[in-house]
Amino acid sequence: MKRIKLYIFVLIITYSSIYSAEIPYGAGTKAGSFLRIDTSARVSGMAGAFTSITGDVSCLNYNPAGLVTIEYPQVYTTYGNWFVDTNFGYIAFALPSRTKNNSTIALSLTYLDYGNLTRVTGLDENGIPVEAGTFNASDMNLSAGYARKQFLMNREVMLGVALKFVHLAIDNNSAFGFGIDMGANYMLDKDWCLGVAVKNIGTSGKMINTADDLPTEIRVGSSREFVVKEQNIKCSIDIIEPLDNKLHLLLGIESKLIYDISARAGYRVNYDTDWFTVGFGYNYKNIRLDYAYVPFNVLGNTHRISLGYFFTDLFKEVTPPHTVAPLPPPKISDIVAVFNGIPKSTFSIEWQWQDVEGADGYRIYDAENDKLLQEVLQGKSVWLETGLQHHTKYTRYIKAFNITEEGKSSVKTSATTHELKSVLFVKLLNKVALEINFKHGEYTIQENVIPVLDKIAELLIEFKPNKVYLEGHTDNSGEATENLDLSQRRSDTVKQYLIKKGVPDKILVSIGYGDKKPIADNNTEESKKKNRRVEFVIITDEGKEVRATRE
């Protein structure tokens, strides 16, 4: 049995070095060949065709640029029993930024443990191997990646880079190596992506007086998503050029079925083993379970299981508190001014004040009970009026540090928080921006919505707001992560349409909220239809946030 394990150990190294059983010139000369093993059951089920797939922490090991579209923090782990007693494991974590998905960082750890192997010192007089105990062999890789969106020649491109720390060990010998992965993705349209990546650029340290290059490869891929009878189908193709082997072609497909189940299949061209793969995935709330079956002909069959968790609660939208414990207002002094105001509509609040130049911070209180409603330490802030009651008095305290020589703060007169232009713009927008709805499971713009978007484009071009957030939403029919992806695609679709109509790209920000913000109860088809929508949130020139609402 131990001799069998040693034989399998040699086969694994040979296989992972050359991708197949054929051994061309140069095969087997690369260190860290385990870096070519698929780290995710989802990826394995699609035969490794993942260069142009985005929004998955596994992108770190295929094309780090794909990390940038990750919506929420996620952790993902894979475990599998390989051949005989060989064990393979993987764990990864991704953390997107909170600045409208502009960047993501990720970490991953991959290991391959070959188990205890028999040490053979030679042959006896009968030609039988002489055993002298056992030894262990293992490989490990630690990766750290960063991805962000970047405008190049007026085009938004996803860029990513990953640094690798590789450790190889056989018996008492070990080697350390460093490498780098680089990649880019470009969206041809809302559901068609191109990707390119260069992996494993680097070398390992000396292993028994020999230092080798890592298994460098160039990957080019394309993926596209289709909707067939309300089912999302994603097709992917990769071309891989290893520097130490022949060209390979990978084909993968993923179809989202009923009850949050996904089916996957893949095919590898120019492979003698593991040429066909299958798998499935199941989503339950924030949890994703993936499985893949990968046959290896004479080496046997392998099974890979992955488990992921999405921390959707970490990035909940934060709004100013409106019911908190009383906090005594500061005392009036030469550098603390108090102003009173009464909101007269949902669009503006008129303050009876003289505004302080260079204000360093302010607080807003309920004038009746002195409860703190909002506190801003410095800089500009968006005052959300959702908690304001009409004809209720509010008090704002401003603290300024630009004291004059006479010991008094410098002041200037301010009329209202909104100019008439902003109020007029919001009123006009409210008349047209509430019917941006979508069919079940789709993110294409319906014909009856086009005139509405055309009118919105005219308003945005005419009034030139500072920023426009396009918030995508879904009903609760799908799984949470699927709904997040669908809502993002809906907001992206509206954004691209407005850009084509002449709205400046720089003022539009698209973001998806999934099913987290319903405006109806989702109990009927009619109410679900209302939740399948895109809403507009406007940041005016005065820094005011205004949400389009039904008048």
- Could you give all domains of the chain from N- to C-terminal order, each with its CATH number? 2-312 (2.40.160.60), 336-413 (no CATH), 420-547 (3.30.1330.60)
pLDDT at residue 520 in the model: 87
Closest CA to 395 of 317, 454, 458, 338: 338
26-77 pLDDT, tens per residue?
334 466 788 888 999 999 999 999 999 999 999 999 999 999 989 889 999 9
Give the strand pairing for 508-512 and 467-472: parallel
What pLDDT score was predicted for residue 34? 85
Q: Give the H or E element holding residue 188.
A: strand 173-189
Which pLDDT value is given to residue 414? 30
**DSSP code of residue 155:** E
Burial class (CB in 10 A: 0-12, 13-18, 19+), 407: exposed
Where the chain has pLDDT below 50, the residues are: 1-29, 316-327, 332-360, 377-391, 398-421, 551
Q: Are 341 and 414 in contact (CB under 8 A)?
A: no
**Strand ranges (DSSP E) for 82-172?**
87-96, 103-123, 129-152, 155-170
Q: How many CB atoms lie within 10 A of CB 527?
A: 14
pLDDT at 266: 95
Per-residue pLDDT at 59: 96
Query: What is the rounded distance in angstroms from the CA atom of residue 453 to the CA atom of residue 445?
Result: 10
Total-model pTM: 0.56
Give the tens place of pLDDT for each residue, 430-478.
655 566 889 988 898 988 888 888 888 887 887 777 788 888 999 988 8
